[in-house]
Structure 1
Amino acid sequence: MTTNTASGTPPRAGTDPQLAVTAALAGADIVRSLCGTPVSRVDKGAGDFATAADLAAEQAIVDLLRTARPDDAVTGEESGRTGADRAERRWLVDPLCGTLNYAAGNLAVAVNVALRTGDRTTAAAVAAPFTGDVFWTDGTGAYVRRGAAAAFGTAASAGGSVSETAVPSPGTCLVDVNLDPPFPHAPAFRAVDLPAAPGFAARFRPRVVSTTLAVAWVASGQRAGYVTDGGDLRGSVHFAAGIALCEAAGCVVTGIDGRPLGTSTGGLIAAADADTHTALVEAIRSGERRSGI
């Protein structure tokens, strides 16, 4: 879990990390305020949908970013890409990660905001609307402020809290596995098979929350690991913020083949330490061997 090792200061006013925190908390304010209201769904096809909370939260975040950084490009999950295609600086916005959870009254959701500068994520924040926690990184360190929204009321006051250093830990033995299809690496790897892999259950306890809030939890010691299938997720609105947090916190972050992101076959393993990472890679490979791959 996180320790009480504090940075002593919030992200500095006017900086990209401070903007990421403020934007994520602005989205979280809206997600929280609309909870319990009738859920209207905007169909996106293939069983996916957005709610009024997704749309309103994204609009608030994008408006903040455009006002503060008018020359930057923005990619929102709901509104798509704006700004120059080859912009050096691009903000990635996932206004409500866990929409199906939210629509069903499950409050395990997150608001993700990340800044990609070239091929790096240089600032990011993940806000948990219903705990008030906000996780953030300036690209070098990773931090968490507990109950930030509850303590400071609104995103406008987001700069007033002390942040603790995020400290990864394998101690919980909890590993979140994203079970949502499709499984692009099947039959070699299917996330649904991982909890049954030899050695997995002897060491870990699987969890499924279906939100990338779980990636931030790896950075802060609330989870030992996280595993999902997929392609290159570094520039994903869903995953960029969590990946940046984990990397800055000192987690081991690779593709599902154990190779560094960008050179891997895709997917994501975020592990609290090298030992946990090795065990997860071996569990994945044991499943591949059982499949005859």
Structure 2
Amino acid sequence: MALKSALINAMGNAARKAQRSLIRDFNEVEHLQVSKKGPADFVSAADRKAEKILQGELAKLRPDFGFLMEEGGRVEARDGRHYWIIDPLDGTTNFLHGIPHFAISVAVQREGELIAGIVLDVIRDELFWAEKGVGAYLNERRIRVSARRKLSEALFATGIPFLGRPGHAEFRRELAAVMGEVAGIRRMGSAALDLAYVAAGRYDGYWETGLSPWDVAAGIVLVREAGGMVTDYAGGDRMVETSGIVAANDVLHAPLRKLLVQVG
């Protein structure tokens, strides 16, 4: 059985509390107050409520940590070193359409380095968690990235730019390049769960652009601790700054990134 650290336990307990709130709201989603951030980018009362729960619980446990949040923005760290990076509801569009595929994502960043992360699949009750040097886990079971070695046998995940967002033409070129070489591509609507699935070996890889730090922070830790590779499109470590990410096992990462760069 995996022995969780106090930090992982704190993150998991906070996420479980927010999970209960999201499940209640999901069961009443047709009555939920919804507003628009952009043409196809929604925020609901459920997002805000879950984020307040997470912030409140985590602030009690680590009062010196700062926050980087999807709805609440940035709160500076008292210790100047540690930040919680929170997405209270990754997969909002799925949630609002009654599709049971969305997650809570929480990561810890220390002096710019991601050191721990959890992704909680709210409906399936699957808790993916990882800490630097400890490995990646699904509930109590150790997970690893897939062992597939051929693009022709691989299943990849991606995300499609929303209405009103730039990058549609570039995405179509990327999709055409990748789909001609692989066994299949999925677009499920939650970047956090896409990365968790790569860590668990369910997907062989994942790529997307136009992302925010809270979309990917926890997933980056998961994939790395599961033995995979995560980079930006240039092969570097600036996923958070550049908003583009490529994740896969150690063999398929390079050919996937090559396909994407060739059409960029």
TM-score range, shorter chain: 0.7 to 0.9
Distance 1:26 1:238 in 2: 20
Conserved 8 A contact 2:48-2:71: yes
- Measured after TM superposition, the shift of residue 240 of structure 1 is 0.5
Distance 2:105 2:83 in 1: 14
**Structure 2 residue aligned with 1:241:** 218
Which consecutive unaligned segments of at least 5 residues does structure 2 have? none
Matched, 1:203 2:203: no
- Measured after TM superposition, the shift of residue 28 of structure 1 is 2.1
Conserved 8 A contact 1:200-1:283: no
**Structure 2 residue aligned with 1:66:** 59
Distance 2:227 2:238 in 1: 18
Conserved 8 A contact 2:158-2:208: yes
- Measured after TM superposition, the shift of residue 287 of structure 1 is 2.3
SS of 1:106's partner is coil
**Structure 2 residue aligned with 1:157:** none
Deviations 1:238-267 (A, max 9, x none): 11000111111111111123x121399651
Q: What is the one-letter code of the residue matched to 2:156?
A: V
**Structure 1 residue aligned with 2:258:** 282
TM-score, length of structure 1 as denominator length = 0.79
Distance 1:33 1:96, change over 3 A: same
- Measured after TM superposition, the shift of residue 135 of structure 1 is 0.6
- Measured after TM superposition, the shift of residue 81 of structure 1 is 1.7
Which consecutive unaligned segments of at least 5 residues does structure 1 have? 1-7, 147-162, 289-293
Conserved 8 A contact 1:183-1:191: no
Distance 1:80 1:141 in 2: 30
Matches within 5 A, 1:1-293: 8-12=1-5, 15-37=6-28, 38-84=31-77, 87-146=80-139, 163-169=140-146, 171=148, 173-181=154-162, 182-183=165-166, 190-197=170-177, 200-212=179-191, 213-230=193-210, 236-257=213-234, 259-262=235-238, 267-274=244-251, 276-288=252-264
State percent identity of aligned pairs.
25
Deviations 1:173-201 (A, max 9, x none): 221111115346x86xx22332311x643
SS of 2:47's partner is helix
- Measured after TM superposition, the shift of residue 114 of structure 1 is 0.7
- Measured after TM superposition, the shift of residue 113 of structure 1 is 0.5
Q: What is the one-letter code of the residue matched to 2:7?
A: D
SS of 2:259's partner is helix
Conserved 8 A contact 2:65-2:79: no
SS of 1:202's partner is coil
Q: What is the one-letter code of the residue matched to 2:14?
A: A
Q: What is the one-letter code of the residue matched to 2:228?
A: C
Q: What is the one-letter code of the residue matched to 2:61?
A: A
Deviations 1:133-164 (A, max 9, x none): 01111122333335xxxxxxxxxxxxxxxx11
TM-score, length of structure 2 as denominator length = 0.87
Distance 1:116 1:141 in 2: 16
- Higher mean Cα deviation, 79-88 or 121-130? 79-88
Conserved 8 A contact 1:168-1:249: yes
Distance 2:40 2:128 in 1: 30
- Measured after TM superposition, the shift of residue 46 of structure 1 is 4.4
- Higher mean Cα deviation, 81-90 or 174-183? 81-90
Task: Say which structure is richer in helix.
Answer: 2
- Measured after TM superposition, the shift of residue 9 of structure 1 is 3.0
- Measured after TM superposition, the shift of residue 85 of structure 1 is 8.1
- Measured after TM superposition, the shift of residue 218 of structure 1 is 0.4
Distance 1:286 1:165, change over 3 A: same
